[in-house]
Structure 1
Amino acid sequence: MTDTSSPDTTTVTVATDTAMRALGRAIAAETRAGDLLLLSGPLGAGKTTFTQGLAQGLQVRGPVTSPTFAIARTHPSLVGGPDLVHVDAYRLSGPEELDDLDLEAGMAESVTVVEWGTGIAEWLSDDRLEISIDRHADDTRTVQIRRIGDRWRGTLTALAGDKLE
């Protein structure tokens, strides 16, 4: 994994699925109850793979699979930490349908990840990570992590210079 950063955005290149999960675990170390992560990228980019690593880092019950047809799954913590709420907004037509899931009710006690969340889920929190994944022909991925709001200011500095293979 290589890194280039700006004050509110970190861009990393991830070479393998294992490294994508390691990135998820690294970000899990910085998360806490109430956090929102929005994931975007084309089909097969690695959104669920990233979420699997996040789940490993949070030590929640699995397995973590894409919730495309279930829309949302809650993975309870195995260690007394926050639960992971994993949402797939791919089949939702807009923010109104996401609102019907009543995610806000449990957000304060969990880490919420919304795949395909861009343009649909930003209203859930003024403080969030927006993670965009682009998969290339050689299967490497460029992951752009944008920190939004005061909550994320100064976080994820450990990603700079990390080498994850």
Structure 2
Amino acid sequence: MIDSPVDVVIHTADDMHDFGVRLGRDLTAGDLLVLTGPLGAGKTTLTRGIGEGLGVRGPVTSPTFVLARTHPSLVGGPPLVHVDAYRLSEPIELDDLDIDFAGSVVIVEWGRSLIDAVASAWLDVEIERPTGASESAGTDAADSDVTDEPRRVRIFRHGS
């Protein structure tokens, strides 16, 4: 798992993707990331980059309507499990998804209030975007995180 804390300003959507690629290259099976940030902050763009860095089958899109998507590795590494926990209200609902936390790299969007019941260690990734930033940059609200405005990404480790 990467060293934390990390505090970086990301200037464009391409930069967010590139940051994700670099981050993905450092992740291994058992790593868990919890992404928090407003709609359009760049969570899906970051996750796409992580998927590219891991070498998984894509395309990596928001799992809003399916709750979780598994992207198998194309290079013999761990799969990427991408979870959207926005509609989950209890930790048991996350546990019911039967995710292989130990054998995968798992990214959970909107899961900050649920994750401590199913995991003992994770990276908390908070993405802040400027107040008043556009939430309608894309045609799909779930993928509207493409507006080129600076974002601050903070990564903190929870647990050991």
With normalisation by structure 2, the TM-score equals: 0.84
Letter of the aligned partner of 2:90 in structure 1?
Answer: G
Structure 2 partner of 1:50: 46
Between the aligned partners of 1:85 and 1:131, the Cα distance in structure 2 is 16
Structure 2 partner of 1:135: 129
Letter of the aligned partner of 2:102 in structure 1?
Answer: A
Between the aligned partners of 2:31 and 2:17, the Cα distance in structure 1 is 19
Structure 2 partner of 1:122: 116
Residue 102 of structure 2, aligned match among 101, 108, 128: 108
Segments of 4+ in structure 1 off by > 4 A? none
Unaligned 5+ residue runs, structure 1?
1-6, 151-165
Q: How many pairs are equivalent? A: 142
CA shift at 1:132, angstroms? 0.3
Q: For each residue in 1:109-158, what CA deviation from the matched residue of structure 2 results, as whole angstroms up to 9, or x when unmatched?
A: 110000001111133322211000011147210111002233xxxxxxxx
Greater share of residues in strand: 1
CA shift at 1:8, angstroms? 4.1
Unaligned 5+ residue runs, structure 2?
134-147
Alignment of 1:88-103 (within 5 A): 88-103=84-99
CA contact (8 A) 1:130 1:148 kept: yes
When the two chains are superposed, the root-mean-square deviation of aligned CA atoms in Å is: 1.4
Letter of the aligned partner of 2:71 in structure 1?
Answer: H
With normalisation by structure 1, the TM-score equals: 0.81
Greater share of residues in helix: 1
Between the aligned partners of 1:66 and 1:91, the Cα distance in structure 2 is 13
Percent of pairs identical after alignment?
55
